[in-house]
Amino acid sequence: MNQPALPLLVEPEQLRERLDDPRLRIVDLSDAAAYSQRHIPGAVHLTYAWLVRKTPPALGLLPDEQALSAVFAEIGLTPEHHVVAYDNEGNGRASRLLWTLDVCGHRAWSLLNGGSHAWFNEGHPGETGMNTPEPGHYPVSLPAEPPALADRDWLMRHLDDPGVAVLDARSPAEFDGIDVRAARGGHIPGAVNLEWTRVLDRERNLRLLPDGQLQALLSERGIHPDQEVVTHCQTHHRSALSYVVLRYLGYDRVRGYAGSWSEWGNDPQTPVEA
């Protein structure tokens, strides 16, 4: 795979200068109606539901290799592409795609800072209709234990590991067991709470907060770069953005718990705190 063509977090101005770069695959994960109405020139649409495997009660699991290969083919992706992802709702959906790429070993990717909010509110060009790329060829072969993925058993083995931190991106009410969205409310023992929207700057078109403020939010919660950090929410949608933030800040060991609370909170064998 080629070296990344853009930084992990890319500004609209940087992307605009590279719209004609054939190495880029720009992927819009907004809803289909919003994409059809207006999207970044050259962007292809990806339906978010294709990135999750629902096995009730767990509703956010990673699809299997065959399904992922089909998804990548649908957007015309090849191992040589650098993916730039964005959406219109805070970049949680876009980040789920980027985390999925990490799990698959595809590290050439960027998140568009501020997503479509920053792009269009700041006067960058758009187009309408649908872009249909030539089908790509990307046979996915997942490693036995992907370093970007945590499952329930992995978390159970590391609950008392001081070198592992669990970052819960749900709302404080969900974390405290007031807003119950599974058989049980509460949180994973030892987890800390940082609601996913806290990292967004509403004064700058939903860009990420400045690096220093992001680091402070994590430090206040006892999360440091020498730890291995696991992010989760209800279905690893909101927490995918938390994952990307940590990667952007230079955390080398980050995992996403795909099962998240829809799995953990519905399993009577897993411990819960409230």
Catalytic residues: 233
Residues 104, 99: Cα–Cα separation, whole Å: 9
Tell the burial category of 33 from Cβ atoms under 10 Å away from its Cβ (0-12, 13-18, 19+): exposed
Tell the burial category of 268 from Cβ atoms under 10 Å away from its Cβ (0-12, 13-18, 19+): exposed
Max CA-CA distance within the chain? 52
- Residue 73: count other Cβ atoms within 10 Å of its Cβ: 18
- Residue 175: count other Cβ atoms within 10 Å of its Cβ: 24
Q: Which of 220, 210, 219 is nearest to 248 (CA)?
A: 210
202: DSSP letter: G
Residues 84, 26: Cα–Cα separation, whole Å: 5
Tokens of 88: 């219109």
Tell the burial category of 230 from Cβ atoms under 10 Å away from its Cβ (0-12, 13-18, 19+): buried
End-to-end CA distance of the chain: 45
